[in-house]
Amino acid sequence: MKNELIHLNHISKSYDGKIVLDDLDLTIHENEFVTLLGPSGCGKTTTLRILAGFETPDKGSVIFEGRDITSLPPNKRQLNTVFQNYALFTHMNVADNIAFGLNIKKKPKSYIEDKIAYALNLVGLTGYEKRSVTTLSGGQQQRVAIARAIVNEPRVLLLDEPLGALDLKLRQDMQYELIRMKNELSITFLYVTHDQQEALTMSDNIVVMNQGYIQQMGSPESIYNEPENAFVADFIGDSNLFPAIFEKDELITIDGAPFPCVDTGFGTKKPVDIVIRPEDVDLVEKGKGLVSGVVTDLIFKGVHYEMCVDVNGREWVAHSTEPCAVGNEVDIYVHPFNIQVMNKPASEDEEAVRTDE
């Protein structure tokens, strides 16, 4: 069992009367890679800034290793932040940028030189010491910003959408670099992003946020495969999100058509929401499925084809390595295990980002 490192204890924060965080309660353990994921304005960056000490909560406290650090200034916290714009000093070379914090702390010259060499090796920039940061690519600048943070030996590294300005290939490369660094450094990472794929790729745990609330916390697998409400189901990955009736244990109906499932305990004849991932929608021959429809769209996505199927006016999305031509009549089959049943939203905050109804 990992030790508790950080506890954001019932944090609330407002700006100009608008609530940004509403009684947020979050625990982070040592050596975890935790991602705060959500749409713009959900409160994830404010959460990071409160933890870093750049903002003060209206209510609640920040607990670090059992100590209340809510009023502690940023430079007194065992945390370092890497921002989206990197915040590098353009009049300094790479080595001076990395050494900035160590010089402020008046560390010995030999110690600083050793730390610079270690950090540059870690981020793959050995030999770049004298280069001006203005001559570096976006990915290289991002590595310098990370090197500057890690030479201070923080217990926690805070990253606020640091890959947002990079192109897709470089962003994917840096995701793996961050995972490697996290494992080598044995420090805790708290990462902010609105990119679902980024969160699923890198995280030990994901915290899905919306409207200042935590919607769901868990491993990438549990968040993707077992969303707790419509918002999470729709925000994480592609999904078929439909209203349904929970007829009885292990049986639902979608638009009147029966679909066996594995869920129990939702009652009888109860309205629910269900999510079915496109990769779990099988297009089969007529007469071998649960409902029938017509293929209306076919798109090649590289690793798979995406097909839209009209079933009595409701659009289903299916992913498959085998294409099915537009206009074909098909049946849809879904394995009972791949139907995730959810209670109807208790509030507007739990509703889907977009609806297909």
- pLDDT tens profile 121-147: 888 889 999 999 999 888 888 888 888
**CATH number (domain holding residue 108):** 3.40.50.300
Residue 167 to residue 268: CA distance in whole angstroms? 50
The confidence band for 329, taking pLDDT boundaries of 50, 70 and 90, is: very high
Q: Is residue 116 one of the residues assigned to a domain?
A: yes
| Domain match, 74 and 178 both | yes
What per-residue confidence (pLDDT) applies to 174?
A: 80
Mean pLDDT of the region 145-158: 87
| Calculated CA dihedral for residues 117, 51, 178, 319, nearest 10 degrees | -170
Residue 110 to residue 130: CA distance in whole angstroms? 17
pLDDT tens per residue, range 173-197: 888 888 888 888 888 999 999 888 8
Percentage, residues of the chain above pLDDT 90: 64
Residues 6+ apart with CB under 8 A from 254: 242, 244, 274, 291, 314
| Domain match, 144 and 213 both | yes
Residue 356 has pLDDT above 60, yes or no: no
Residue 154 to residue 182: CA distance in whole angstroms? 12
Residue 237 to residue 341: CA distance in whole angstroms? 17
What per-residue confidence (pLDDT) applies to 173?
A: 80
Structure tokens at 168: 């897709």
Q: Is residue 231 one of the residues assigned to a domain?
A: no
| Domain match, 37 and 160 both | yes
| Domain match, 12 and 123 both | yes
Cβ atoms of 200 and 224 closer than 8 Å = yes
Q: Is residue 318 one of the residues assigned to a domain?
A: yes
Structure tokens at 49: 């800034």
What per-residue confidence (pLDDT) applies to 357?
A: 34
What per-residue confidence (pLDDT) applies to 154?
A: 86
| Domain match, 53 and 168 both | yes
Mean pLDDT of the region 139-164: 86
pLDDT tens per residue, range 54-94: 999 999 999 999 999 999 999 889 898 887 777 788 899 99
What per-residue confidence (pLDDT) applies to 339?
A: 96
| Domain match, 141 and 195 both | yes
- Cα 329 to Cα 46, 304, 305, 326: the distances in Å are 50, 20, 17, 9
Give phi and psi for 254, each to the nearest 5. Answer: -115, 115
> Which residue in this structure is represented by tokens 């209510």?
59
| Domain match, 196 and 307 both | no
Structure tokens at 349: 């905050």
User: Pairing state of beta strands 251-254 and 240-248?
Assistant: antiparallel
The confidence band for 12, taking pLDDT boundaries of 50, 70 and 90, is: very high
| Domain match, 154 and 204 both | yes
User: Coil, strand or helix: which one is 138?
Assistant: helix
Structure tokens at 4: 């508790």
Cβ atoms of 13 and 21 closer than 8 Å = yes
| Domain match, 141 and 14 both | yes
| Domain match, 309 and 352 both | no
What per-residue confidence (pLDDT) applies to 354?
A: 44
What per-residue confidence (pLDDT) applies to 352?
A: 61
Domains in the chain, number: 3
Residue 1 has pLDDT above 70, yes or no: no
Residue 320 to residue 315: CA distance in whole angstroms? 16
Query: Max alpha carbon distance in the chain (Å)?
Result: 78
Residue 237 to residue 132: CA distance in whole angstroms? 40
What per-residue confidence (pLDDT) applies to 355?
A: 37
pLDDT tens per residue, range 209-243: 999 999 999 999 999 999 999 899 989 888 999 99
Q: Is residue 306 one of the residues assigned to a domain?
A: yes
What per-residue confidence (pLDDT) applies to 353?
A: 56
What per-residue confidence (pLDDT) applies to 180?
A: 84
Structure tokens at 187: 């420090």
| Domain match, 54 and 199 both | yes
Burial letters for 83-108: b for 16+ Cβ neighbours within 10 Å, e otherwise? ebebebeeeebbbbbbbbbbeeeebe
Q: Is residue 256 one of the residues assigned to a domain?
A: yes
Percentage, residues of the chain above pLDDT 70: 96
> Which residue in this structure is represented by tokens 């607990």?
63
User: Which residues constitute the domain of residue 319?
Assistant: 282-331
Closest C-alpha to 309, from 289, 290, 330: 330
| Domain match, 273 and 287 both | no
The amino acid at residue 292 is: S
What per-residue confidence (pLDDT) applies to 256?
A: 95
pLDDT tens per residue, range 279-301: 999 999 999 999 999 999 999 99
Q: Report the alpha-carbon angle 193-34-30, nearest 5.
A: 150
Cβ atoms of 21 and 57 closer than 8 Å = yes
The confidence band for 50, taking pLDDT boundaries of 50, 70 and 90, is: very high
pLDDT tens per residue, range 24-42: 999 999 999 999 999 988 9
Q: Which residue has the higher pLDDT, 32 or 149?
A: 32
